[in-house]
């Protein structure tokens, strides 16, 4: 009796409270859709999903913890399920893959895995063995859901699918489990989903909301799509920067499933999209898979027809970029994309007046999954045969990849090279090092030049393209992804008509350009004098009675070394020129700890050693400060004192969450030092004296005049402001802070910008005729570079041309960065740095501003006898200018951005402003430009502002 009262009381209480405060709705969204999703012959011993939810299955969005509760229960209730935890998200949520099959199959998983591995390498397996393996293998499917956290219906469908497969005792399901191993990855991005579920809770009212513009549907900044650091996990499949992707890819690659379903959502007013992509499709993709894609889409389409559900295939779905889940297509797995219109969470009213409910969207994903599994069951043996044929082709001398090798030239930047090796090895790519020089007939350079009679230096990293993962190797290492003429025609048509694009993502992405590593492609299968590549060992001999210790500045880890030691109160210096001390050559940008600078630090050498060990970087112990001949000595001006950065990142509404996230991640991932993210609305009244370095990621929030004047004062007093892309655009507008101008505002003064450019060109190419200079006469034949060109363009024409050319800006392509090799911002970069470029502000520098990286590589053209004019700028005789390196860059765009700056640095009072035209940390993977950004963040306050001396 008592018990009953205890149970009833809270209900009475809550309904009373409810009645008093809020009106109940006139209708419920759960009544919109009457179909039943889960309708099997279910085993009563397995808990229905409703048990784990505070609503009926499919009515609302299940939270990650509700789904995890179900998984933890099911693994005890069923012997048809094995749970593998392949990682943890940044916020500590487990990442599960559920292996579902018959209990007998689950006992043989190791055997299947071994067979799949043998079937994928024809160097260890012959045709007869392959046939036996194919006969004995079950079908293997990888079903993954909701990689974008706010695209929720997939994970809800996954919960139902898990239950259905382990609880349904119908012969159909039992037969499926007997012949298949189904691997379900139910919540690919639990942190993003948790963020979105929280906002659903926060914005939920009493009445259902069907307006897709309302906050309950959209969520708020930084939204639920991305993971903890605001990374789009569906762009990370070969860059592998996030724990979710790293763990997932390791397991997928071990299993080589036959299909990989990746269930998403798209715009609320859309329907359902699946099936194979339309052009552009990456040319390295297996043609058989395109064929199979159609087979699966056809079955799925018929099922949708039967149920009166609308859908489409192709349209906006292209597949040029290999960093989607579709990376599996290059490894022989068929990737299948679902895009369900987004209904979370009550449903959405559509133009025809109907309301599509959330439950229906879950049902679409659920049915699609089952249909795809059945199609695989029917075709598994044929697909295995095609897979085997594909693998044989990959290692044969007849494939289009057979006579091609990728070579990464030797570098002292060991940490970047090791990172690359790790990513390649995660994809089972075999990499080598050459023990001797190799002479080859010719090579293709990153700038597109062919160089004949080339010698590959000893110690290069070599990746022959004739190996089992050949298609993926080509997709991620070839300098240019081929795009058909038809696609270019269509793209140009769209651009001209209304400025739209048929390209869905970046058109350039290859690893070596992203990483800023010098590489060549050799049209040969290199196979002689190769050893398996291994990371080189480091030297950690930190000798106590040395007078200085140094780490080499070409290695990216040197920046982290500096940042981490400064945080521990150690005074550091950096050399802005190459040095040689104690017979050791150290690059420009090397970080030096001098014992004399740190008299009070008693454990100096152990701090140095531990930090270097953590970062896997060699330390040189130096015993003399004397550099031979012209080389710098330790008391001179080239040993520059660093200053500890105190960093804040401006964040929140109006900023690109991607660029905020990746800046934050880069500080945490590369440096691991303290910093603050501050809400930009605080700029006007926050105490900015706490920081000496402010990072302004790309954003569209225009600062008001008060905020700008606060920032100006702060910079004048010695602050370093670093801005990217859209924030740079704001800072170079009139009334703002910087003297840099966007190109559209530069035409009246185009002469001054050209003069600045000519000074740089001439300074890099000084030839002295001593007799001429010293003959004491006034010379009448002086030359003025701007008078040398015959084709001056007036400002009106420049303006008209610029308007036209701006229509053709790239959407993610590599252009050549011409690097000022003496500037401290370019420590650790190569001379021609690939820049991932898009519709960025086109930066113009004159007078005293430094144009640290400009666009275009000068290349010799001896038939070019005079100056040539490109819009506002001139190129010296004997040269061409190369802009495009990879991806789609229309000639109009090349002309527009030629010689403009990608990176500028200007003094402002005692401080400085550093502007990036683009987003240097793109996807956490553009390590070439990320290094420049890290130089700005860690070294900027020491090297670019007036030193602060405490009296």
CB of 151 to Zn ion, least distance (A): 5
Contact range with Zn ion by CB under 5 A, out of 141-149, 275-283, 798-806, 863-871: 141-149
CB of 252 to Zn ion, least distance (A): 18
State yes or no: residue 148 binds Zn ion (CB under 5 A). yes
The angle formed by the CA atoms of residues 845, 847 and 850, to the nearest 5 degrees, is 55
Binding mask 217-256 for Zn ion (x = CB under 5 A): ----------------------------------------
Q: Which is nearer to Zn ion, 264 or 416 (CB)?
A: 264
CB of 148 to Zn ion, least distance (A): 4
CB of 525 to Zn ion, least distance (A): 39
Helix axes 243-255, 109-119, angle to 10 degrees: 80
CB of 273 to Zn ion, least distance (A): 11
C-alpha 321/C-alpha 838 separation (Å) is: 16
Contact range with Zn ion by CB under 5 A, out of 145-153, 526-534, 537-545, 670-678: 145-153
Collect all residues with Cβ–Cβ distance below 8 Å to 875 and sequence separation of at least 6: 858, 864, 867, 868, 869, 881
Q: Which is nearer to Zn ion, 151 or 469 (CB)?
A: 151
Q: Which is nearer to Zn ion, 317 or 391 (CB)?
A: 317
CB of 61 to Zn ion, least distance (A): 15
Collect all residues with Cβ–Cβ distance below 8 Å to 171 and sequence separation of at least 6: none
Which tokens go with 335? 């990737």
Q: Which is nearer to Zn ion, 164 or 317 (CB)?
A: 317
State yes or no: residue 342 binds Zn ion (CB under 5 A). no
What is the CA 478 to chain-centroid distance, rounded? 18
Q: Which is nearer to Zn ion, 93 or 264 (CB)?
A: 264
Which tokens go with 203? 């914005």
Which tokens go with 292? 């199979």
Contact range with Zn ion by CB under 5 A, out of 62-70, 142-150, 651-659, 896-904: 142-150
Q: Which is nearer to Zn ion, 264 or 741 (CB)?
A: 264
CB of 145 to Zn ion, least distance (A): 11
Q: Which is nearer to Zn ion, 59 or 151 (CB)?
A: 151
Q: Which is nearer to Zn ion, 555 or 656 (CB)?
A: 656
CB of 324 to Zn ion, least distance (A): 10
State yes or no: residue 264 binds Zn ion (CB under 5 A). yes
Bond before 280 cis per omega within 30 degrees = yes
CB of 505 to Zn ion, least distance (A): 12
Contact range with Zn ion by CB under 5 A, out of 186-194, 257-265, 714-722, 895-903: 257-265
C-alpha 760/C-alpha 900 separation (Å) is: 13
Determine the size of the site formed for Zn ion (CB under 5 A): 3
Binding mask 149-188 for Zn ion (x = CB under 5 A): --x-------------------------------------
Binding mask 101-140 for Zn ion (x = CB under 5 A): ----------------------------------------
Taken in order 538, 557, 838, 738, the sign of the CA dihedral is: negative
How far from 230 is each of 73, 242, 268, 315, 363, CA to CA, in Å?
Answer: 31, 11, 22, 28, 29
Asked if residue 701 lies in contact with residue 725, where contact means CB atoms within 8 angstroms, the answer is no
Q: How many residues does the chain have?
A: 951
CB of 333 to Zn ion, least distance (A): 19
Q: Which is nearer to Zn ion, 151 or 156 (CB)?
A: 151
Which tokens go with 619? 């330390």
Could you identify the residue written with the tokens 């521990």? 568
C-alpha 780/C-alpha 767 separation (Å) is: 19
3-state secondary structure 676-719: EEEEHHHCCCCCHHHCCEEEECCECCCCCHHHHHHHHHHHHCCC
Contact range with Zn ion by CB under 5 A, out of 63-71, 143-151, 387-395, 625-633: 143-151
State yes or no: residue 644 binds Zn ion (CB under 5 A). no
How far from 726 is each of 18, 71, 700, 723, 850, CA to CA, in Å?
Answer: 47, 44, 6, 8, 20
CB of 262 to Zn ion, least distance (A): 8
State yes or no: residue 359 binds Zn ion (CB under 5 A). no
Q: Which is nearer to Zn ion, 93 or 148 (CB)?
A: 148
How far from 433 is each of 413, 444, 471, 528, 534, CA to CA, in Å?
Answer: 16, 19, 21, 10, 8
Which tokens go with 477? 């290492």
The residue whose Cβ lies closest to Zn ion is 264
Bond before 345 cis per omega within 30 degrees = yes
CB of 160 to Zn ion, least distance (A): 20
Contact positions vs Zn ion (CB under 5 A): 148, 151, 264
């Amino acid at each position: 009796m008592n018990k009953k009262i205890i149970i009833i009381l809270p209900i009475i209480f809550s309904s009373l409270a409810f009645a008093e405060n809020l009106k109940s709705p006139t209708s419920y969204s759960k009544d919109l859709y009457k179909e039943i999703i889960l309708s099997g012959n279910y085993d009563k011993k397995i808990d229905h999903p409703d048990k784990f939810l505070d609503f009926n299955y499919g009515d609302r969005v299940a939270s990650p913890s509700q789904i995890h509760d179900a998984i933890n229960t099911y693994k005890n209730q069923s012997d048809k399920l094995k749970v593998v935890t392949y990682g943890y998200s940044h916020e500590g949520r487990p990442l599960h893959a559920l292996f579902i099959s018959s209990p007998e199959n689950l006992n043989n998983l190791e055997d299947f895995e071994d067979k799949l591995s043998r079937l994928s390498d024809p160097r260890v397996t012959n045709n007869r063995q392959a046939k036996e393996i194919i006969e004995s293998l079950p079908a293997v499917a990888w079903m993954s859901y909701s990689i974008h956290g706010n695209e929720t219906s997939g994970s809800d469908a996954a919960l139902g699918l898990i239950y259905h497969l382990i609880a349904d005792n119908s012969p159909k399901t039992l037969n499926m489990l007997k012949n298949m191993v189904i691997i379900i990855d139910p919540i690919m991005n639990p942190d993003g989903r948790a963020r979105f579920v929280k906002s659903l809770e926060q914005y939920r009212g009493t009445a259902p909301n069907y307006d897709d513009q309302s906050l309950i549907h959209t969520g708020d900044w930084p939204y639920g799509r991305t993971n903890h650091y605001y990374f789009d996990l569906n762009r990370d499949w070969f860059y592998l920067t996030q724990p979710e992707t790293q763990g997932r890819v390791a397991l997928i690659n071990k299993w080589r499933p036959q299909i990989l379903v990746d269930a998403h959502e798209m715009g609320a007013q859309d329907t359902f999209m699946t099936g194979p992509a339309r052009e552009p499709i990456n040319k390295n993709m297996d043609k058989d898979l395109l064929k199979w894609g159609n087979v699966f889409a056809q079955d799925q389409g018929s099922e949708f027809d039967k149920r009166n559900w609308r859908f489409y295939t192709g349209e906006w779905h292209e597949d040029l970029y290999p960093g989607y889940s579709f990376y599996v297509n290059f490894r022989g797995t068929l990737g299948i994309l679902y895009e369900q219109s987004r209904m979370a969470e009550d449903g959405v009213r559509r133009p025809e007046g109907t309301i599509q409910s959330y439950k229906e969207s879950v049902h679409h994903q659920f049915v699609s999954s089952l249909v795809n599994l059945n199609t695989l069951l029917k075709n598994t043996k044929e697909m295995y045969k095609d897979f085997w044929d594909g693998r044989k082709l990959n290692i044969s001398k007849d494939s289009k990849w057979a006579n091609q090798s990728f070579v990464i030239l030797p570098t002292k930047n060991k940490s970047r090279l090791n990172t690359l090796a790790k990513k390649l090895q995660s994809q089972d790519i075999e990499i080598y090092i050459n023990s001797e020089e190799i002479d080859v007939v010719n090579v293709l350079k990153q700038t597109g030049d062919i160089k004949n009679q080339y010698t590959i230096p000893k110690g290069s990293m070599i990746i022959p393209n004739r190996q089992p993962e050949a298609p993926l190797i080509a997709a991620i290492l070839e300098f240019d992804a081929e795009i058909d003429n038809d696609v270019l025609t269509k793209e140009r048509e769209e651009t001209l008509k209304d400025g739209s694009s048929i390209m869905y993502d970046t058109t350039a992405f290859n690893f070596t350009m992203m990483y800023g590593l010098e590489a060549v492609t050799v049209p040969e299968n290199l196979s002689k004098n190769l050893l398996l590549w291994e990371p080189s060992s480091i030297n950690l001999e930190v000798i106590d009675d040395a007078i200085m210790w140094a780490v080499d500045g070409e290695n990216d880890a040197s920046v982290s070394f500096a940042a981490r030691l400064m945080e521990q109160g150690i005074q550091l210096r950096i050399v802005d020129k190459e040095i040689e001390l104690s017979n050791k050559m150290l690059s420009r940008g090397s970080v030096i700890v001098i014992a004399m600078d740190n008299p009070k630090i008693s454990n100096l050498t152990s701090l140095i050693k531990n930090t270097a060990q953590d970062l896997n970087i060699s330390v040189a112990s130096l015993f003399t400060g004397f550099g031979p001949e012209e080389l710098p000595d330790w008391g001179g001006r080239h040993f520059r004192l660093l200053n500890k950065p105190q960093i804040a990142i401006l964040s929140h509404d109006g900023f690109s969450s991607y660029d905020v996230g990746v800046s934050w991640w880069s500080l945490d991932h590369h440096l691991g030092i303290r910093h603050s993210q501050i809400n930009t609305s605080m700029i006007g009244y926050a105490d900015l004296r706490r920081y000496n370095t402010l990072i302004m990621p790309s954003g569209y929030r225009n600062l008001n005049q008060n905020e700008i004047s606060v920032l100006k004062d702060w910079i004048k007093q010695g602050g370093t402001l670093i801005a990217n892309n859209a924030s740079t655009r704001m800072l170079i507008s009139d009334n703002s802070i910087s003297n840099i101008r966007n190109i559209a505002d530069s035409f009246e003064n185009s002469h001054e910008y050209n003069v600045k450019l000519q000074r740089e060109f001439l300074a890099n190419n000084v030839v002295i005729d001593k007799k001429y200079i010293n003959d004491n006469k006034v010379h009448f034949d002086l030359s003025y570079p701007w008078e040398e060109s015959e084709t001056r363009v007036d400002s009106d024409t420049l303006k008209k041309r610029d308007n036209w050319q701006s229509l053709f800006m790239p959407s993610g392509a590599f252009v050549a960065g011409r690097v000022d090799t003496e500037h401290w911002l370019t420590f650790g970069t190569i001379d021609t740095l690939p820049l991932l470029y898009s519709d960025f502000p086109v930066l113009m520098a004159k007078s005293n501003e430094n144009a640290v990286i400009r666009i275009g590589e000068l290349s010799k053209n001896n038939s070019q006898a005079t100056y040539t004019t490109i819009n506002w700028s001139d190129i010296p005789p004997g040269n061409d200018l190369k802009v495009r390196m990879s991806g789609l860059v229309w000639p109009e765009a090349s002309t527009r951005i030629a010689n403009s700056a990608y990176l500028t640095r200007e003094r402002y009072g005692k401080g400085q402003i550093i502007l990036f035209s683009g987003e240097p940390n793109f996807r956490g993977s553009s390590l070439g430009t990320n290094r420049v950004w890290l130089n700005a963040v860690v070294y900027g306050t020491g090297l670019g502002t007036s030193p602060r001396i405490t009296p």
